[in-house]
Amino acid sequence: MTKDISKSKAVLSVALNISVDKVDSSMSLNNTPEWDSLAHMRLILEIEKEKGSKLTPDQVISIVDLESVEATLSKV
């Protein structure tokens, strides 16, 4: 699980263009200024790159915070 958290933090930091240590569990698309529409697009593409497959519309819609990034990355 720790590995998943660090991976999801790394993915989010790349997409939002911020350092990993600034990524925290309270971050969501509603409360993070760096999380704009371009960052969101980068985030989905980063997750797809990590998973090696395209996300379904349900999965895309579910991605709203660090926890959901982690959940999507951990699903096989």
Partner 1 sequence: MIGQSQSEFTKAIRTKRFDVVNCNWIESYRVTEIWRNDDDVIQNLMLDKKYTNLQWMKRSRVNDKRYTHAIVDREKKKTIGSHKMSISDDGSAGLIIVVHSPRFHGKGVFEEVRAAIIDKFCHHPKIVRFGARVRARNFQSIFNYQKLGFRFVGYQRKCLVNSLTKEHEDIVLFEMLSEDWISARGKND
Binding site for partner 1 (CB under 8 A): 29-30, 36-41, 44-45, 57-58, 60-61, 64
Q: How far apart are CA 27 and CA 7, in angstroms?
A: 15
Closest CB to partner 1 among 2 and 26?
26
Nearer to partner 1, 20 or 41 (CB): 41
28 - beta bridge partners? 65
| First vs last C-alpha separation in the chain | 14
Give least dist CB 44 to partner 1, A: 5
Phi, psi torsion values for 67, nearest 5 degrees:
-60, -40
Rounded least distance, CB 1 to partner 1, Å: 26
